[in-house]
Chain A
Amino acid sequence: MERILFYSIAIIVIVFALASVASRKMLRSVIYLLFVLCGIAGLYFMIDYNFLAAIQLTVYAGGIVVLIIFSVLLVHHIELELEIAKFPKQIATGLLCLSGLGVFLYTLYSYDFHVIENNMTTTTQSIGEKLLSYEAGGFILPFEVVSVLLLAVMIGAIVLAKGKQKSKTN
């Protein structure tokens, strides 16, 4: 049962990822990305990281994809056919990626992972404690740094997107 589920998720992820990078229509491409992200969220569910799956769904599917859709709507006509790279370049890049993949997989399969059989469930509480812990191994500092980063990005995004005051009055 779980095998079937995994394989179907894997197929969904890969097929829609391919569709996403191959589609010549911008909005479709973004929607395919949404499917990929949802598939990955499903993967998280399957390995019992429910909190992470929830974040994946809310931040990625709910936030980032919506943001991208917004930008697409702002800068594109819906029906615009996107330009695509020349065929030789596509072939070359495809071959490059395939060979890279071959190297990856070869390395993966020639490495012996010491897998620990387990069925542990990670609770949200333990993640929160770990994240806000002051003790050794705690992640409070990176957490705060990321907060500052998000703040800075928020301001930056507003400033950039707003443009110059002058152009607005014009």
Chain B
Amino acid sequence: MSIDYIFAIPLVPLTLFLLLGILYKRIKPSVSGYIGVLGLLSSTVLSFVAAYQYFFVHGKVNGVYESMVSSTVWMNFTPTLHIDMGILIDPISVMMLIVVSVVSLMVHIYSRGYMKGDEGYTKFFAFLSLFTFSMYGLVLATNLFQIYIFWELVGVSSYLLIGYYYTKGTAVAAAKKAFIVTRFADLGFLIGILIIGYYTGTYDFQTLTDPEGSAILNWGATSFMGLSVITWALILIFMGGAGKSAMFPLHIWLPDAMEGPTPVSALIHAATMVVAGVFLVARLFPMFYFVENGFALNIVAYVGAFSALFAAIIAITQTDIKRVLAYSTMSQLGYMMLALGVSGYDGHEGVGYMASMFHLFTHAMFKALLFLGAGSVIHAVHSNLLKDMGGLRRYMPITNITFLIAAMAIAGVPPLAGFWSKDEILVAAYEHHKLLYFVAVFVAGLTAFYIFRIYFGIFWGKETAYAHPPKESPLSMTFPLIVLAVLSATVGFVPFSEFVTADNVGFEAHINYPLAAIATLTGLIGILLAWAFYKKTSTLPDTYARTFGSFYKWAYHKFYMDEVYLFVTRKILFRQVSERIAKFDKKYVDGTMIGIGNKTVLTSTKIKGLQSGRVQDYAYGFVVGVVVLALVFIYLWTN
């Protein structure tokens, strides 16, 4: 199977980015929209061709979906240690290609309607293309360094798109926050990469993740503070992944990132970029699993579980629908991390890995749909806040139906997509650790509750009087909604375990009926509670909010995480550390240099009198020199 045509998939958006970026002022908005959509369409078609070829034409070799690499050496350090540039094709990268292509295409189509009339229309599409290119590069990367490069590129495009409304102060602040927080996390990632490169002598995923390879077998060779250095490196890499995937405590940027345009939130902060962290852990999964008996993997599991719970609780209290969705995203990402963390490697043991990827896949569809639906609502009522909405089902039927499908999917109602993937996650958690299982079930209930809370809040609930009656969005926006709704309803039937597993062998998954029943029941309870609370205007929510009292307040203020960060950075880091360092720098480092400069100036002003330009002074010096030299020659060199 030739994989060279896959190079075209990332190159198309790159070309689009350059084209739209350079011709920014000279291209008509309507034209640039079509160019973007058509380009993405070609990438999507190629992705599907690649997936079809990989899974069905090429198929398994010796019962395994093999990894294929096409790369060239980019930088040479030593004969063994070098950085390549190329593409790596294996089940998860093919799956990610599909996810990125589909969501990106839908978002492109949707943006044509949503961004209509915006000043930077072409610029927006250029940025979207840049992001898509970076994301393709990320999922196709053959080694740690390449993934790091594209990792930063998606960070940059995320920064650009969050700060898209750059005249708005909050958007600028949010963009900076997202960039700085993820940058900080990426520092850990980079250190991890360097440690791995130093101790294993390779950056290539294929070599690193080979269970019989030297990188995994020799993990115990060097240890540091009671753990293998490789484990430390993996923890640091996970830190990078946690930053991108908004895991606790590096999640603070994600809710603020909602300042960006809604299609951006759907593409970057729901479906693709934020799952890069999950993807990274999945990419290095054999290392996480085998090194130090999965010590790093346990961290992944607990961080994921805690983030899922933490975010779900906050999501219940938020009033801005995009923020609810943002916390929901964080919660679901925690789910995926949890699933990875509880996974095994061989055969059916690897159900967690498979479930995580499956959930990533389905989540991308229904979360993008939720965001796009929310965008459609926001487009109609010009507000993000729940209190400005209500009773919209009569005005926006298509949005209503598609949003409902997505909400049921995320709540795990059978037979929609979320049910299947979530069920697998619960199975994996149940087999691994009961506590994690209970957390996961509880979170599933919370998820159903908060998502239906906003669903009822938007489309049912109180009858809000609108100044302008909201209209259903144009076809360019409803078309992606319908497509994604169909996908959200059906992708759950894809026999995912046949294709994507930790050992690339594939197994047959069965539904664990008792667990599925419990999960579904929990979801339904959540939905019913939301129905009771929010279907009609009632006092129930306020009563319960008061019952929980301070806890509600805490959750409403996101457990004061932002304030904690501000305290740590401002009060401790800036005042105690940075200020002193700055003082030292100014006083001693700068002082030395300035002092040298000043002394030089001083000395030269003093001695510049020697260069008076007066011939007589020179003659004086000349005579002195002659006499002194004469004396020296007479008395010292007498022989």
Contacts and interface: CB of A to CB of B under 8 A. Distances in A.
A138 interface: no
B602 interface: no
Interface residues of A, number: 8
Contacts of A97: 623
Contacts of A106: 634
A93 B620 CA distance: 8
A69 B381 CA distance: 105
Interface string B617-631: 000100110110011
B624 A107 contact: no
A122 interface: no
B624 A103 contact: no
B620 A107 contact: no
B623 A103 contact: no
Contacts of B623: 96-97, 100
B620 A103 contact: no
A8 interface: no
Nearest to A98: B627
Interface in B598-635: 620, 623-624, 626-627, 630-631, 634
Contacts of B624: 96
B626 A100 contact: yes
- Among B623, B626, B627, the most chain A Cβ lie within 10 Å of the Cβ of B627
A123 interface: no
Nearest to A97: B623
B634 A100 contact: no
Interface in A71-118: 93, 96-97, 99-100, 103, 106-107
A80 B636 CA distance: 48
A107 B634 contact: yes
Interface size class of B (residues with CB under 8 A): under 10
A154 B627 CA distance: 37
A131 B629 CA distance: 37
Nearest to A101: B627
Contacts of A93: 620
Contacts of B620: 93, 96
Nearest to B616: A85
A103 B633 CA distance: 11
B528 to A, nearest CB: 108
A106 B627 CA distance: 12
A99 B627 contact: yes
Given A93-B620, A96-B620, A107 B630 contact: yes
A96 B634 CA distance: 17
A48 B196 CA distance: 102
A108 to B, nearest CB: 12
A66 to B, nearest CB: 25
A74 B631 CA distance: 44
A99 B630 CA distance: 11
A128 B624 CA distance: 41
Contacts of A99: 627, 631
A93 B617 CA distance: 11
Nearest to B620: A93
A106 B631 CA distance: 10
A97 B626 CA distance: 11
A10 to B, nearest CB: 23
A103 B635 CA distance: 10
Nearest to A85: B616
A97 B627 CA distance: 9
Nearest to B624: A96
Nearest to A99: B627
A105 to B, nearest CB: 12
Interface in A21-41: none
A97 B624 CA distance: 9
Interface in A115-148: none
Contacts of A103: 627, 630-631, 634
Contacts of B627: 96, 99-100, 103
A55 B229 CA distance: 101
A97 B622 CA distance: 12
Contacts of B626: 100
**What 8 pairs across the A-B complex have the smallest Cβ distances?**
A100-B627, A103-B630, A99-B627, A103-B627, A96-B623, A103-B631, A96-B624, A100-B623
14 contacts: A96-B620, A96-B623, A96-B627, A97-B623, A99-B627, A99-B631, A100-B626, A103-B627, A103-B630, A103-B631, A103-B634, A106-B634, A107-B630, A107-B634
Interface of A: 93, 96-97, 99-100, 103, 106-107
Given A100-B627, A103-B630, 9 more contacts: A96-B623, A96-B624, A96-B627, A97-B623, A99-B627, A100-B626, A103-B631, A103-B634, A106-B634
